[in-house]
Chains A and B, each alone.
Chain A
């Protein structure tokens, strides 16, 4: 029965209830409408990025992906508890954040199963489902990297960014738009601590910037006593020291080689910087005139220093013959002194290859490093691969499930030692992308996955490479404006040498 009141008509409540019941049924039916009748295809769909069979942390952003052919499609994501679906006209699936978080938590320690339906040639096809394993191990909340175009001699826009791995939020730590287009690199954190870090700026506003709990110190590290300003860094776990290499580096280009660019050192050494006393400590074992020492890294207990070393050879003629060994020696942080015995972990002459970028997992169990046929700047070597040494047993894992037939190079560990992130050029051979890989307690690695992005076309459109990925336990909290002011106008401190 209708009761008109002015221009509003109120429908009898019983009839109202009936109306709403029918409406609800309609809505529910629409929401849970059945999946289409489809012909089953006995293969998995081809997706980009390839997230099939990967192991992911429970706290990672949604793994948005697209089908290789843009067709009308449906993706059904199922955990042991629930499922949801996404429909797309173009075959690209951007997963809602909340739904992804829910399903990831539900599938923690288990798998998310994804089934794809695709409408092709006026019929639906149902592909074999693929799984995404959700590890119980979480990953650090943020990832820091530099983005730079893969240039040759010149550079333009670049910046250091921090990415929240749980979401797609990427924030500028510092961009060279704001610092007169200079160069910035080698960001490094003490035990994944965002409150204790350093990085370099080159060319304009040159210096090493050490940031501790928001306090910024600018250092002029160029001296006559060293062959260069301080280069590749590695923090001592105490935060009291930083190992640096000093390198006389040259870049050259191949006239006809798939590797395009060659970067080599004419000479290099390793020094230790005492952060509190602002002193450089040197040792003859690390400053040998007949060898090139580089890529220092401390063990997580701070008692050993790992580094790479190769005999000095005439350059650039002998660039293909330079092969780096992986060595270590003890370090006494109280006395600020080194042991006299050098241990060899990777013998280049025996293997015929060259090692670089040693990184020990925070639990001290594994040593991850990169090998290539020669040299030390492996991002331009298509043969560069990762290897992992079990420091307890001495076994070497060639990581065949992790490496590709293209470059795998720089890498770093998560604070819980269960994940590492690495640079790879497997997608197109030129632009470096970041992959994350799981390592369990037994040292078994999973299939790595590409750092997820909100837009499925992100990597297609991006003409920048990702450099030096470093996982950190929280957000870097620094006043960027203050950092810029100090860069431009701050008076740098000088290095002094411990005698």
Chain B
């Protein structure tokens, strides 16, 4: 029988692992990049001195290995499987039944759902795991009233390790003692009282926010900058769920004992309940959107530009942030001005959308502006990302700050950040290599000359001007130029585009202008009814193709399906965007 149970849980482990690997392994990468865990003894000691610091320490220690998402999937699958096993063992204390194997999956489903929320951190699962582990040990140990006394003493130890979770542990302990009809079960109220006293003392001493803050809504929790409140929210709900499941286990026990229901019906009810809850716990649209964002962010870190293009291409209606990733990937490949309009663009916001004060957008903007050479703006967003990262900082933001300050010649701050990253296992080798590069830069005195008369306050500059600054001969940045040119095209301002491109033909000496630039120039010529249509910068095929487009457009524009016909023929051209796309 035991081998059957073991097989069951191995299958559960495999199922959870598959879910993580197939659905959203990237969420672990997202969690890893918003924590700065420095494994120094004096910092660890500081956290261990505060009740509840232990589980947070374990969570962050494990999360630092999330850089490898396969390892992250394995760690999480193992933890969730252990939670399921322990929950099953607790249910077995009420009565021994096979269907408890399925009931024990419900808290696992709940956690699988919760962990998709970007506010969740591994500490939440670790804390819950330890809580039910101690719950199980306590039930094994409790035999006489003296054992309650010993448990009362150990509840301080549990409080030290788990903080305010000791209250939830005590609540479930009381309930389980009652359900399992332990001798002198009412002594367990003493442990609950102690747990409440410990928790209240911690709140009274201003060590942490009250556990009761967890009763507020999800929206409230997501608005808090640190994960503490959200974890309280999760634990309270898991405790309530556990309470209900233990009660169900107890009620089914009574029903089965009285033989009021055939066993197969019991199994049917349990199965339906588990499947129903499992269905409820399935990822929703919001989770799927987050998944895509997580995937794009991960691919960006891996510099998998083709991967980004493939992911966005599959989307029916990509949002602005997805398009920001897409266009950045195109620019990294040197194809922005050649292939931008083969994708469904939506105006200037497709290049850089409005900042919404979140970590992920700050990190993305820092990358984009670094690419276009706007060091100060990139640094500002990197600093925002560093500030907004929920667990003390962001290695991703630090890497950008290192790059930026290296180019600016601020080597003291570069050293500080490099020394920090060298202490983190996932970044030590990168930091060592970067240190060598920075030293070389110092020796060659390759300092980006970003100072002097060009300085202006950013409130006095618009995005257009920000990119224009990068077009000086001394500091010309081709990506900034293409971003600026493409922003005009996206805004359908082809006069500005024409003026810009006329001054910069020399950068394309010996090679053809990018495809969309030729398309736009052809459009401009015909729109402005210039007499001389030939232009050395526009290929003949673009002029004739545009001429065909115009005729086709006139013919099809009045038909109800004209838009789709035009899209199928010319959807990858700037002309289609210019004439047919509503902004």
Query: What DSSP secondary structure best describes chain A's contact surface?
Result: loop
Is the pair A429, B226 in contact by a Cβ cutoff of 8 Å? no
Is the pair A461, B205 in contact by a Cβ cutoff of 8 Å? no
A156 CB contact (under 8 Å) in B209, B387, B423, B460: B387
Residue of A nearest to B374 (CB): A255
Q: Is A169 an interface residue, CB under 8 A from the partner?
A: no
Chain A nearest CB from B281 CB (Å) reads 30
The total of chain B residues at the interface (CB under 8 A) is 53
Residue of B nearest to A456 (CB): B42
Q: Is A279 an interface residue, CB under 8 A from the partner?
A: no
Question: Residues of B contacting A460 with CB < 8 Å?
Answer: 416, 419-420
Roughly how many angstroms separate A428 CA and B411 CA in the complex, as a whole number?
8
Q: Is B377 an interface residue, CB under 8 A from the partner?
A: yes
Question: Residues of B contacting A431 with CB < 8 Å?
Answer: 416
Question: Residues of A contacting B459 with CB < 8 Å?
Answer: 250, 252-253, 316
Q: Is B40 an interface residue, CB under 8 A from the partner?
A: yes
B380 CB contact (under 8 Å) in A250, A253, A319, A428: A253
Is the pair B458, A255 in contact by a Cβ cutoff of 8 Å? yes
A254-B455, A256-B454 known; A151+B383 contact, CB < 8 A: yes
Is the pair A463, B393 in contact by a Cβ cutoff of 8 Å? yes
Roughly how many angstroms separate A172 CA and B206 CA in the complex, as a whole number?
9
Roughly how many angstroms separate A174 CA and B40 CA in the complex, as a whole number?
25
Question: Residues of B contacting A458 with CB < 8 Å?
Answer: 42
Question: Residues of B contacting A429 with CB < 8 Å?
Answer: 410, 412-413
Is the pair B387, A154 in contact by a Cβ cutoff of 8 Å? yes
Residue of B nearest to A426 (CB): B412
Chain A nearest CB from B564 CB (Å) reads 44
Q: Is A497 an interface residue, CB under 8 A from the partner?
A: no
Is the pair B386, A149 in contact by a Cβ cutoff of 8 Å? yes
Residue of A nearest to B387 (CB): A151
Is the pair A152, B416 in contact by a Cβ cutoff of 8 Å? no
Chain A nearest CB from B237 CB (Å) reads 21
Selected interface stretch from A118-126, A175-183, A336-344: A175-183
Roughly how many angstroms separate A334 CA and B204 CA in the complex, as a whole number?
42
Scoring B204, B452, B456, B457 by chain A CB atoms within 10 A of each residue's CB, the highest score goes to B457
The total of chain A residues at the interface (CB under 8 A) is 44
Is the pair B376, A149 in contact by a Cβ cutoff of 8 Å? no
Interface readout for B456-468 with A: 1 if CB under 8 Å, 0 if not?
Answer: 1111110000100
Is the pair A181, B226 in contact by a Cβ cutoff of 8 Å? yes
Selected interface stretch from A99-107, A257-265, A361-369: A257-265
Is the pair A256, B413 in contact by a Cβ cutoff of 8 Å? no
Q: Is B70 an interface residue, CB under 8 A from the partner?
A: no
Q: Is A349 an interface residue, CB under 8 A from the partner?
A: no
Chain A nearest CB from B400 CB (Å) reads 14
Interface readout for A234-261 with B: 1 if CB under 8 Å, 0 if not?
Answer: 0000000000000000101111111010
Residue of A nearest to B206 (CB): A480
A178-B209, A181-B226 known; 13 other A-B pairs, CB under 8 Å? A154-B357, A156-B388, A177-B226, A250-B459, A253-B380, A253-B458, A254-B376, A255-B377, A256-B455, A257-B451, A429-B413, A458-B42, A461-B420
A residues engaging B (CB < 8 A)? 149-157, 172, 174-175, 177-178, 180-181, 250, 252-258, 260, 262, 316-317, 319, 427-431, 454-455, 457-458, 460-461, 463, 480-481, 484
Q: Which 6 A-B pairs have the closest CB atoms?
A: A480-B206, A428-B412, A181-B225, A151-B387, A256-B450, A257-B455
